[in-house]
Structures are given as structure tokens and as C-alpha cells.
Amino acid sequence: MPATSFAGSGRPPVGAGHARDSSAPDAVWRTRHAPDPVGRILSPCVAAAAARTRDTPAMSRPIPALLDMFDRLLAAPSVSCTDPALDQGNRAVIDLLAGWCAALGFRVEVQEIPGRPGKANLIAVLGEGPGGLVLAGHTDTVPFDADLWHVDPFRLTQREERLYGLGATDMKGFFPIALEAALSVRGMRLKEPLILVATADEESSMDGAKLLVAAGKPRARHAVIGEPTDLRPVRLHKGMMMEAVTVSGQSGHSSNPALGNNALDGMHRVITELLAFRAELALRHRNPLFEVEVPTLNLGCIHGGDNPNRICGQCELHFDLRPLPGMEPEELRVTIRERLARIAGETGLGIRMRPLFPGLSPFAEDAMAPVVRAAEEFTGHAAGQVGFATEGPFMQQLGMQTVVMGPGSIAQAHQPDEYMEQRQVEPAVRVLTSMIRRLCADA
């Protein structure tokens, strides 16, 4: 899921000020924290899994054990952030995945993001022909609060049946599970290809997913995005927009309104208009499949003026709008701008609206799509909705019917001591294996 919490303050939610200290936040963490006495960096489970890998002839298992891959992905820092001081590349994660995919017989393409050194997508294809199933995930994580973690964020720690690490649930942990599923169908004749897609910058700019759409690949019939949904299929989420409205007037002595043009007075009218628009949206758009059935518009923060005896010359408001499927962010922007232009005309104030980030489209997949039906059948859960946005709309733009479904819970994402419940790992491998058999082998 994309980071959203930079909305309020205009800054990311970071304690990862620590990451500022060095280009290698894993090293920083280790210098600040004594080794953990209980959940040692290489947990007994990982050690056992690694030992199993060593004991197994390379012929029979071309990739490391699942938890060993999990550990190595966590150990490759890949924070993405709208703040350049915290932003890192994801190339190390891509290279690990590319190597394992190649070992499984996939044809591997690393797609570098133009103008973003160290950032890349991976497209790995097993089998031939049109159609096929994409297993997709993002390789980046959000920043982290180093002082609030009790385990090393950059290694796998297994404790109390949980797998801890930065990105364990959102969503590096999806990849070893997807690779394990790919391994389990090795040797099976695939009538349609199996494609693994790993993207850059989902948590910040969505540049990875945008590049896939611009390049027009991969093309496939179905896609599973492995964001953490507790392994329940999801076919709906709202979109996300964050906008700033600036009102510019003229400051002057408060004793005579004619000496200026008050931006706060103008903002009062802007807010009245936005709240009226919100009420209209709620009347016109409703979808009972969502927990909050109507589109939301939240006034997040406001800054303006300085002194009571000065006419306020400048005021800025930030708001967040979550459209339902069927509502397009760009159309909403056009409508709001038209309504604000009317206020500007009547007041003589300068009123400007700008997006704080490009915005994400809402997502809705056909309830009868084969990928949705297969996910429902193999998990035993009806497809539902979630409160976060994903790369789903981009996969749909590439022509794929898409379901969001992955192990781990969003409740543990984007916070210290992020973990995935270990009991979700085996079922996730089983479900993905069944999806591959159904949509690639039996196709």
C-alpha cells in the first residue's frame, strides 16, 4: 500500500531521520542497538532452513529455502520516500529476485526507471504465449523509526510464530512465497505463462507501475497483487487524492477592510464550497460494498495569516478526497477548480489548487473475473474491499483482470516491529500454487 501519512504535515511520518545519517540504514541500526538476546539475527528457523538448503542437492532445489530468501530480501534496504534525503534505490532487491527467477527458468528483464538511478522493475516470464498470470508486488518499503524497533529491521527475526522485519508484510515477504509457488509447479507444462512482476516506488511516486503502463508490458490475462490482505481476495478499493488550495489576497491595516483583500475571508468561502461539494458527492455516489459507503473529503490542515491587526494576505488548505470506483480524480479536479474560479471572480482573490501528489484511481474488478473466482474458491472467502490503494488500476490499464490478495495484515504495515504471521506462509504458498495451476496450466 502506498504511504499516505505525509498528507497532514506535508512531510513523511519518519523517524528515519536516522537513515539520513548514512546511506546504509541497516548499518546505522546495528551501531545503535546491541544484538537482540532472544530473536537472534539468524533465527533458529532460518538457520534450520538454510541448513536444509545446504543439505539438499542443488539440482533438486535451485533457489534458497523460503525463509532464507525472506531474510535476504529484508537485508537489502529499499526505502522509498517523497523526501529525497530518505529515498533509496531498490536495485539490490530486484537483483536478488532476478537471480532466483533465472534459477527457476524464468526469462528475466530488469527495467530501469529513467532518471531514477538505482531504481528498477523486474519482469520475469516462465512459459510462452499470450494470456497468463502475473504475480505482482512492490519491492520498496516506507521509512522506519529506528529507535522504536525491538529487532533488526533489516534481518528476519522469527519469534512467537511471527516473521519480523521492515517490509515483512508490506510486502517483501510476498516474493519468497510466490517463488515457492513457482518452484512447486516446476516441470509442469504451462499453457499460459507465469509472470513475476516486482515494482519500484509504490510507496512514494508509483514510478515503477507507471513505467510498466508506459512500456505496455507485461501483457497477461490475470494478475494477483500480493499486498497484505490476510489472504482474503479484494476486488475494490477507493482512489486517493491530496490537494492544496492557496488563497492569495492583499494584506493591510485591520482598521480598514478597504486597505486589503482578506485571504481568510476567501478561504471561508472555499471551505463552504468544498463542504457543499462533499455533500453533493455523498448524494450522488454510494457503494454499499465499502465500509464507508460514500466518497470522503477531509479538510486536513490550514495555515494563514500572522497577526490579528493585519488583513490576512495568504492562506493555504490541504484536503484529502477518496473517490469511489467510477469517479475519476482528474474529472473531480476540473469540477473543483471551476467552482473555486467562481469564488475568485467574485472576490478578486487569487485561488489556486494543486495536487500534493498525482493521485490514485479507484479500483474495481468484475466479481465474475476468473482470477477473482479462483481466489475466492481457493481461499474460501468472498472478494471484498480494503481501505488502502494499490497498483491494481495500473495492472488493469495493461489489460489484466486483477485481484489483490496476499499474506500478512495491513494492521502491521508501516509501523515499528512489522511482522507477518508465520501461520499464513504455508496457506499462501498453497493458494498461489492452486492459482497458477488453474490459470496457467489448466488454461
Using CB under 5 A as the binding rule, whether residue 391 contacts Zn ion is answered as: no
Q: Residue 56: CB partners within 8 Å, gap ≥ 6? A: none
Clarify whether 230 is annotated catalytic: no
For Zn ion, the closer CB: 1 or 223? 1
Q: Pattern of binders to Zn ion over 350-369, x per CB under 5 A?
A: --------------------
Torsion 276-280-283-288 (CA) sign:
negative
Question: What are the cell numbers at 9?
Answer: 504535515
1 binds Zn ion (CB under 5 A): yes
Among residues 87, 180, 202, 365, which one is catalytic? Answer: 202
Catalytic residue (one of 68, 87, 140, 316): 140
In the structure, how many helices (H) and strands (E) does the chain have? 12, 16
Three-state SS for 326?
A: coil
Q: Which set of grid coordinates corresponds to residue 331?
A: 474529472
Q: Minimum CB separation from Zn ion for residue 140, in Å?
A: 9
CB closer to Zn ion, 266 vs 406: 406
Q: Is residue 19 within 8 Å of residue 79, measured between CB atoms? A: yes
Q: Which is nearer to Zn ion, 345 or 358 (CB)?
A: 358
Coil, helix or strand at residue 299: strand
Q: Minimum distance between the CB of residue 5 and Zn ion, rounded to whole angstroms? A: 13
Region near Zn ion per CB under 5 A, out of 53-61, 186-194, 226-234, 331-339: 226-234
Stretch that binds Zn ion, among 159-167, 220-228, 279-287, 356-364 (CB under 5 A): 220-228
Per CB under 5 A, which region of 107-115, 212-220, 227-235, 355-363 contacts Zn ion?
227-235
Report DSSP letters for 371-420, one per residue. HHHHHHHHHT---EEESS--SHHHHHHTT-EEEE--SS-GGGTTSTT-EE
Give catalytic status of residue 140 as yes or no.
yes
Site size for Zn ion (CB under 5 A): 4
φ, ψ for residue 327, nearest 5 deg:
-105, 135
* 217 alpha-carbon distance from chain centroid: 19
User: Shortest Cβ distance from residue 134 to Zn ion (Å)?
Assistant: 16
Task: For Zn ion, give the closer residue by CB, 70 or 319.
Answer: 70
In a 3-state reduction of DSSP, which class is residue 388? coil
C-alpha cell at 380: 474460501
Q: At residue 43, what is the residue type?
A: S
Q: Prior bond to 405 cis, omega within 30?
A: no
Binding mask 146-185 toward Zn ion (x if CB under 5 A, else -) reads: ------------------------xx--------------
Kindly list the catalytic residues.
140, 202
Task: List contacts with Zn ion (CB under 5 A).
Answer: 1, 170-171, 227
